[in-house]
Structure 1
Amino acid sequence: MREWRAPDPVERLHELYKSDEIDEQELERRLSLEMDPRADQIREHVEQVAGVGPVTAREVALSFESVDDLRRAGVDELQSVPNVGPERAAEIADRF
């Protein structure tokens, strides 16, 4: 019997592209994010905020170019990120 494993992020992105859930431009953008060490830094910082998991951290990393950009972001800008409501935006802003 073959053991089940979750697809890695790159495999998942290709699945989304093949099923027409994202277009080629979005695929390229997300692939570059997955391979960008700056995105890893952003995710690591954001995941330290209570209640922020990998999905939200990835959304934040998609929305900001660097940790410095994230530090300069206000609560309103953070709230524009998918999965980030007012409380979470305030917590992320306070963290930085």
Structure 2
Amino acid sequence: MKFIPTPKPMTPVDKGISQGAELAAGVLVFFLIGLGIDTWLGTVPVFMIVLTVFGVVGYFVRMYYAYNSVMAKLEKERSEKSRGDQA
């Protein structure tokens, strides 16, 4: 007997919202860490800017590799389907 329904797969909208929230949270964390270091050391907002840029660039690099991974998987599936149709 099953009481918990099986979850439906994520839609593109769900993935987009989750990626946006992850980007915002990640940038906010690096921003706050940089702000804390700058406050602690009494410096101009050097660490705040550097760590914020680091967080943004790091997230976009992560997105780039995730996108390439998905595209490689889809390309492999497409080529396997086209080879199957020709046989």
TM-score range, shorter chain: under 0.3
- Which structure's CA Rg is the greater one? 2
Structure holding more helix per residue: 2
Instruction: Compute the TM-score of the two structures, normalised by the length of structure 1.
Output: 0.25
